[in-house]
Amino acid sequence: MAFDKNEEVLYIVSQDSLYDLRFKNEQLEGTRLSQKLDTLLPGNQSVFNPFNNKLYNFYIDHKKVGAYDTIGKKWEMNYTPDILTVYWQANKFISSTDDALYIMCGYGQMTYKNTVQRYSFTSKTWDSVPVKGARLTPRYLSALGTSPTGDTAYILGGYGSNSGNQVVNPRHYYDLVSYDVKDHSFNKIYQLPEPAAQFCFANSLVIDPVAKEYYALIFPDDKFNSSLQLIQGSLLKPTYQPVANTIPYSFHDIKSFADLYYCETSKKLVAVTLYTSKENVTAVNVYVLEFPPNPIIAATSGLSWFSSWYYLLLIPVGAVGLFLFYKRRRRASQALIAPASQSPVAPLVSPEVIPATPPVAVTIAEPVAKKGNIFFFGPFEVQDKEGQDITKYFTPLLKELFLLLAIYTVRSGRGISSERLYATLWRDKSNKEAQNNRSVNMVKLKAILDKLGTCAFVKEADRWSLQYNTEDIRMDLADFQVLLQMPRPLQEQPVRDLLGIIHRGSFLPDANYTWLEDFQSEISNLALNILSEAAVQFRSDPEFLIEIADSIFLFDPVNEEALHLKCSNLILLGRHSLAKTAFNKFAKEYQHMYGEDFPHVFNDYSGDK
């Protein structure tokens, strides 16, 4: 889809038709293409150039851009089937400074992107732009907006990692960064406070250049039945507030997409959501809000007052064509509009509208609580309330003392006995000397942990335990312990929550303590049991199964069941070269571990068992 801000038209592109929704009169028209596209590759994007008034479709991986011929009713390009894009959820903008389309950020093949790519409409060439200034961390699910001429772009937030590698310390970002088209430089403007509940952004920012403000849609990315919340923020200082009510949003990573547009003439904000089902049907939902929206204000009566989006239309786009539905207030009634004909479809009557569901409670507010984090999976890491890494303050002794207290508390619920604690850390000391050492080092440890939130070391019946406020401090080991009790049959979201915990790595892989070995073995077995169970239960979702296989490899690098799971599902998705790469990597690891060649060939793992 693409938005023409001059005429306030939303274009919706399908394989055989082009639809335009005009917001000035809320009329929808459809045109059958004179030449049907062979395919619309997943990850293709459309954009409207407001400076030459042309509609374009492009596919980043092919570095291919084609304009729509309004007279011939056809596209000036076609795509051949290919592997999946590695630029999901990429951000884009057009600049009049050099008459070019710019693309940045995105995700694919377990890698977050931060390169800046450019397509010149004048020379019809595609290149990568060397940049300077502040570093834009690799990310996706970020929002981008521009100045009126497109000479400055603003990028807000997202999800990614410092290295770009999905498995190495991924995190949410809340920074606002500007990009200057003329000198190709990034500049970090500010960092938003860490929110109590993490969120990501819809694809676009709406920029108010006069007020130096922006509007954006944010959503929690840890659930499928999510919702979009409109926020209003400043371009000059790190503040924002929620405005209007929420919009339902089915979020499933790369199968979902959301965007925000502004109609300057008719004074409307437009939110669009896309969700592609397993049947390869994409539902396009359009919501409209009168501008400017009102902030959410709690009235003295206890009721809340807010601006309300209204639901304009739903468009399911399938492989065989495009069908339109208008939702009406009448009970259980939907008007079905026939597929696009060879001639333009007549304008549709303006639909009745249904207000979007008001929020029960606003969960994203301007003043937000901050939380410290302690990671046991992957490299041991401790972050304070501001998200700063304070692991360096843990000396070897303080680190082991903390791990003993925390792990015994979380795993057994009873803590560790003084006798075991002293025998582990101060076996060469007298009982009195051990007590003194324990007392001194607990004071030091408490001073560090106070940077995260409220906590205390408690002694009951000669057992020491760590007590902490879960609203202040999050420990991934505690979350893991809760997920072990997930009900059967397994539900997808708890399994995804588990993957989110263990994606950093196995349990304390860099810690070498004799007392820890049994815990490491036990936790690895518990994780592998759930992952193996999930692999059987969710066998119809190839992308999910590949994630599960990658998680199994974190605990068991030479797990042959995981190898079969990954290779067969990569091939099912048409990613043959990636499947072969995965097999070769496994064989190399096997040879390194056992000192002998892996006794199987690629074809043994490329199909169903």
Tell me how crowded residue 295 is: count the other CB atoms within 10 A of its CB: 15
**Separation CA 409–CA 466 (nearest Å):** 6
Categorize the per-residue pLDDT at 316 as very low, low, confident or very high, splitting at 50, 70 and 90: low
CATH topology of domain 2-342: Neuraminidase (2.120.10)
What value does the mean pLDDT of the chain take?
A: 85
Categorize the per-residue pLDDT at 414 as very low, low, confident or very high, splitting at 50, 70 and 90: confident
The closest of 273, 269, 274, 306 to 290, measured between CA atoms, is 269
- Res 296: pLDDT: 62
pTM for the predicted model, two decimal places: 0.56
| Residues 80-100: tens digit of each pLDDT | 766 678 899 999 999 999 999
- Res 539: pLDDT: 86
Mean pLDDT, range 113-130, rounded to an integer: 96
Mean pLDDT, range 444-471, rounded to an integer: 89
- Res 559: pLDDT: 93
- Res 476: pLDDT: 95
CA 435 to chain centre: 48
Q: What percent of the chain stands above pLDDT 90?
A: 62
Is the predicted pLDDT of residue 331 greater than 50, yes or no? no
- Res 360: pLDDT: 31
Mean pLDDT is lowest, of 102-116, 128-142, 312-326, 584-598, for 312-326
Tell me how crowded residue 140 is: count the other CB atoms within 10 A of its CB: 25
Q: In the chain, count of helices (H) and strands (E)?
A: 9, 41
- Res 313: pLDDT: 54
Is the predicted pLDDT of residue 224 greater than 80, yes or no? no
Which has more pLDDT, 387 or 479? 479
- Res 83: pLDDT: 65
Provide CB contacts within 8 A for 264, sequence distance 6+. 5, 8
Categorize the per-residue pLDDT at 311 as very low, low, confident or very high, splitting at 50, 70 and 90: low
First CA to last CA across the chain, in angstroms?
A: 41
Is the predicted pLDDT of residue 551 greater than 70, yes or no? yes
CA–CA distances in Å: residue 508 to residues 31, 400, 466, 514: 58, 12, 19, 13
- Res 191: pLDDT: 96
Phi/psi at 497 (nearest 5 deg)? -60, -40
Which has more pLDDT, 108 or 233? 233
The structural domains of the chain, with segments of one domain joined by +, span 2-342, 372-556
Mean pLDDT, range 544-572, rounded to an integer: 93
Q: What percent of the chain stands above pLDDT 70?
A: 87
Mean pLDDT is lowest, of 200-214, 236-250, 352-366, 382-396, for 352-366
Categorize the per-residue pLDDT at 319 as very low, low, confident or very high, splitting at 50, 70 and 90: very low
Mean pLDDT, range 492-497, rounded to an integer: 91
Looking at this protein, which amino acid is placed at residue 535? A
CA–CA distances in Å: residue 452 to residues 85, 196, 443, 469: 40, 14, 15, 10
Is the predicted pLDDT of residue 184 greater than 80, yes or no? yes
Mean pLDDT, range 434-445, rounded to an integer: 92
Is the predicted pLDDT of residue 3 greater than 90, yes or no? yes
- Res 299: pLDDT: 40
DSSP-derived letter for residue 122 is T
**Separation CA 57–CA 15 (nearest Å):** 12
Mean pLDDT is lowest, of 40-44, 118-122, 150-154, 312-316, for 312-316
The closest of 539, 549, 566, 468 to 502, measured between CA atoms, is 549
| Residues 33-74: tens digit of each pLDDT | 999 888 788 889 999 999 999 999 999 988 989 999 999 999
Asked if 136 and 104 count as a contact pair (C-beta separation under 8 A), the reply is: yes
* 3-class secondary structure, 289: strand
Mean pLDDT is lowest, of 58-62, 211-215, 347-351, 401-405, for 347-351
Is the predicted pLDDT of residue 123 greater than 90, yes or no? yes
| Residues 495-538: tens digit of each pLDDT | 999 999 999 999 999 999 999 999 999 999 999 999 999 999 89
The closest of 232, 147, 250, 136 to 187, measured between CA atoms, is 136
Tell me how crowded residue 545 is: count the other CB atoms within 10 A of its CB: 22
- Res 77: pLDDT: 83
Is the predicted pLDDT of residue 589 greater than 70, yes or no? yes
Mean pLDDT is lowest, of 65-79, 278-292, 403-417, 426-440, for 278-292
Write out the DSSP string of 546-586: HHHHHHHHHH-TT-HHHHHHHHHHHHHTT-HHHHHHHHHHH
User: Pairing relation of β-strands 473-475 and 372-375?
Assistant: parallel
Categorize the per-residue pLDDT at 30 as very low, low, confident or very high, splitting at 50, 70 and 90: confident
- Res 485: pLDDT: 85
Categorize the per-residue pLDDT at 167 as very low, low, confident or very high, splitting at 50, 70 and 90: confident
Asked if 351 and 328 count as a contact pair (C-beta separation under 8 A), the reply is: yes
Which has more pLDDT, 197 or 376? 376
- Res 330: pLDDT: 28
Is the predicted pLDDT of residue 127 greater than 80, yes or no? yes
Sign of torsion, CA 424 429 434 436? negative
Categorize the per-residue pLDDT at 341 as very low, low, confident or very high, splitting at 50, 70 and 90: very low
- Res 361: pLDDT: 32
**Separation CA 196–CA 471 (nearest Å):** 9
Asked if 312 and 288 count as a contact pair (C-beta separation under 8 A), the reply is: yes
Categorize the per-residue pLDDT at 190 as very low, low, confident or very high, splitting at 50, 70 and 90: very high
